[in-house]
Structure 1
Amino acid sequence: MMQKKNRAFLKWAGGKYSLVEHIAAKLPQANKLIEPFVGAGSVFLNTQYKRYLLNDINPDLINLYNLLKAQPDAVIHDARQFFTSGKNKEAIYYELREEFNTTTDDYYRAVLFLYLNRHGYNGLCRYSLAGRFNVPFGRYKKPYFPEEEMLVFAEKSQHATFTCLPFEKVFSRARRGNVIYCDPPYAPLSKTAAFTSYAARSFGNDAQHKLAALAHRASAVRGIPVLISNHDLPLTRELYKGADFDMLSVKRSISQNGALRKPAAEILAYFPPNESAPGKPARSRKKAKTVAANATHITLP
């Protein structure tokens, strides 16, 4: 039975708080959980592994996590100073956003990142092509200061290592006995819904294909189980062919128009580990490699 659910201290598009029971139920026992796309960390916060390797391509996110892990009292104390009625004003928000975009002080940038996350529109994390944070003011009456959630995160993060690497490199760090959970930027439901700017770089079809190929290879050749969340689409079902599928319906809250926030079908694709990998006879090893190789030659429907 899952213990009391822990909320992430950041607001995050596509956060998994509402789905952690389903995700945790699909994750097998392991000595380490690896998340190449950790985001706000809801799965990390609501699972019980001995160790974690938590990665994200967003350097601001990982910078904040590392500082909160190392000096939680200081970060919480200093961040609290920004959660006042005087700083919840549009002009002040844009002044602080500009300071965030120009400062070279990692600590100050981390504190401002939390401020922007809680005061910006809809909890979005979005950057221009030049790498400048560009989310507009959120106009909230009184933004919540997540002190308790930050303390829980800081305590649990003592068992975690945070990295800011391409997801391919994170897969290469996985070992037999680990499990990988992937929550990538989702394949778009339509061409106009391609919201992939969580970091300055986008996550397009090539990346979706590469992730699927790595998942196939990790499970078939290396004996490492992989679980992936994504939209339930013909594309993702083709990409994850051979995996075990669970279907979910999730209320999304990205749309600016509340009336358009309709449930979106999601899929959980589980790639079970090939139990004979990696210490298997040469013949079966060759067969497993063929399976993985085929997974890299997926064509778009």
Structure 2
Amino acid sequence: MMLQGKAIVITGSGKGIGAACARGAARQGASVVVNDVDDSAHETAAAINAEGGTAVACVANVADWDEAGRLIEHCLSNFGGIDGLVNNAALYYLETLQDFQPARARGMVEVNVLGPLHCTGHAIGPMLRRGSGSIVNVVSGAQMGMPQMGVYGATKGAVASMVYTWALELAGTGVRVNALSPFGRTTIGGLTEEHLKDPDIARRYAQIQPPEANSPVLEYLLSDRASAVNGQLVRIDKGEIHLYTHPALLLPPVYREQWTAETVADAFESEFRDRQVPCGVLGMTGLPVELQSGFWKRADG
């Protein structure tokens, strides 16, 4: 049991992928704090305990600093410490830029971005004092660009950026930071029974992997066997595990002793013409061969 004796907090784990991962962690021996903003937290905790696992519920809104602190304290007081934190709670809406709604955007930022900041801000002290811990942020391929997911993708891009920075800041402390990019058959996007009456929607929905398929990656990242893994974003979908590439400067650069608008235009029409990276969820090896080779061409040809 890879998580035997560990105390884990999983935010947004009353339903969906979060609940599936909470059950998976408990089956691996972890004592789990199940968190959500409603009674689903109690229902999932009760189901874990009925299976013979160990779980307590904490209803709290992680978008609020004080409530996030109460959530972490709930783990400390019930289990004597905190070994793992999974920042999973999130809001999700589909909308184009033309349909932008400030209130909905603010809600996503508060839960999806401030939530991980709040929870980690409270959890990091106890972890550092113990000299060990695993933080797992939940990200999304939407951060790379998906139509109608501009705000959601922006929030997940922020969460990914936290991983890069925190991994650097915490290197050598015994506390690791990674991310899970899950994919699962849930109703987070507001999918209803009425939607599923559409044969095309029902067919595509049925092809999505179940929420439980994501749990093994999370269980591993929380375990001591992942002690050498830090700053990584891991995606799992239909039997395939991918590592995300990190944002980086594309090498080599183009150099001029002095730049003008005209010479910048010349550079984009020559050296940069075949090196511009497309948007969207793309594997590097899936790019056209001529574009792949363009990444590594020297500026002098």
TM-score > 0.5 by shorter chain = no
Given the two structures, how large is their TM-score scaled by the length of structure 2?
Answer: 0.37
Which structure has more RCO (C-alpha within 8 Å, separation ≥ 6)?
1
